[in-house]
Amino acid sequence: MPTKRRLWTTIAAVAGLVLTVIAPARADNPIVQHIYTADPAPLVHNGRVYLYTGHDEDNSTWFTMKEWRVWSSADMVNWTDHGSPMSLATFSWAKQDAWAGQAIERNGKFYWYVPVVTKATGRPAIGVGVADSPTGPFRDALGRPLVENGEIDPTVMIDDTGQAYLYWGNPNLSYVRLNTDMISYSGGINRIPLTTAGFGTRTGDPNRPTLYEEGPWVYKRNGLYYNVFAAKCCSEFIAYSTAPGPTGPWTYRGTVMPTQGSSFTNHAGIIDFKGSSYFFYHNGALPGGGGFTRSVAVEKFSYHADGTIPQINMTTAGPPAADTLNPYVRQEAETIAWGSGIETEPSSEGGMNVGYINNGDYIKLKNVAFGSGATTFTARVASTVAGSSVEVRSEGPNGPLAGRCTVPNTGGWQSWTTVSCPVSGLTGTRDLYLRFAGGSNYLLNFNWWQFTGAAS
């Protein structure tokens, strides 16, 4: 097993942050801690938010990105890692740069529009992945680019009329009218005029008179069309414009998120979910983070009465839980509000599992509804060593011990067995910590867990 990257061991020394401000036990942003993520694109489907991101490689000194990742949540605080259902290898005609894209559902299929550099021309083009599930696997829908004009950052929306639009571009802003098959278009490539009235005024660069830079996010809400975009490189901030129709005319409305954080780029995605509005973005907040090693975060916000967007600032707290987590049904180990030390990998039993676990590593689950009380904890585990354990705790990774399950040597890192142990003291709705204990080497792999008790 490869040497593990332990993000939070140097947290107090990174970027001058103070441990009490961004302590792992309290913070919930960034929402993924075990890899670097960028360019968030959320999609609401069947009571869950599916979050499509890029993946910045460790130690990158450029936008080195080879795959895309998918995460999901029903409560905005506990996020399930679905791995990488699409990569550069999905597109035989692409050679590099798995950059910012967006997915959308239509007629039971999921279409993921992404920019890549083509082998044939060496220029950016937009490809389309298609899947029967929001978590993939995605396959190349066309075997070639959908459009190619040397620009990036597609965003997609389906209007109330059923007409779908694909927008993209840096330095320009273009769009096409997608056909109902979502993999072809009619009417050619159209250019949106980048006027200062529509997209604000940039100073100091005669070649870029407006604030529009890249990363558009176009959507409709209460009859108004929004274009939220990365503005004025570099460093970027997030701005937005509105229009009465999907192609304009656009009117510049101002700043959504000022320049802040330790990444010189930013990229927005906005959704409504379970009665609230959420703003996704990225920064460089994790140890080793920066402009090429970014991390996705999210904030809850409320529109003003006139539909304008308030100014939003980055936080380490993140949003409050939008729902509770049910511990009495099977929960994937890779469902995490905050992880310390752990990583994830594909599991032989399907999906992902948590692995590369050392003594003292832990997983935090937020807002877990134990009701009148849990009595038993069950975990699906694998190991090549004996004597390690999964500790069930609350209040913190070193909080009150509710129970301890011993993990045997199962004979292999993917040779799975189920272990159970009694637990006590877990009532009401509280945060849960699963802490791992044992020797000095890798301890175990962890696939899923479930409680039983009076409320089950």
Backbone torsions φ then ψ of 342, nearest 5 degrees? -80, 165
Name the one residue in this structure whose structure tokens are 């409560």. 75
Question: Of 231, 190, 185, whose CA–CA distance to 208 is shortest?
Answer: 231
Q: Which two tokens stand for residue 240?
A: 């937005």
Question: Position 131: which residue type?
Answer: A
Question: Position 162: which residue type?
Answer: G
Strands (E), 193-305: 212-221, 224-231, 237-243, 251-257, 269-273, 276-283, 295-301
Q: Torsion angle, CA of 63/67/73/77, rounded to 10 degrees?
A: -30
Q: Which two tokens stand for residue 428?
A: 């009401």
Q: Which of 28, 39, 153, 431 is catalytic?
A: 39
Question: Of 3, 5, 56, whose CA–CA distance to 340 is shortest?
Answer: 5
Name the one residue in this structure whose structure tokens are 């696997």. 137
Dist. CA 66–CA 58, nearest whole Å: 12
Question: Of 162, 52, 51, 176, whose CA–CA distance to 107 is shortest?
Answer: 162
213 is catalytic: yes
Dist. CA 423–CA 308, nearest whole Å: 49
Q: What b/e sequence results for 222-244 when a residue is b if at least 16 CB atoms lie within 10 Å of its CB, and e otherwise? A: eeebbbbbbbbbebbbbbbbbbe
Q: Which of 81, 151, 213, 214 is catalytic?
A: 213
Question: Peptide bond before 235: cis, by omega within 30 degrees of 0?
Answer: yes
Residues classed as catalytic: 39, 213
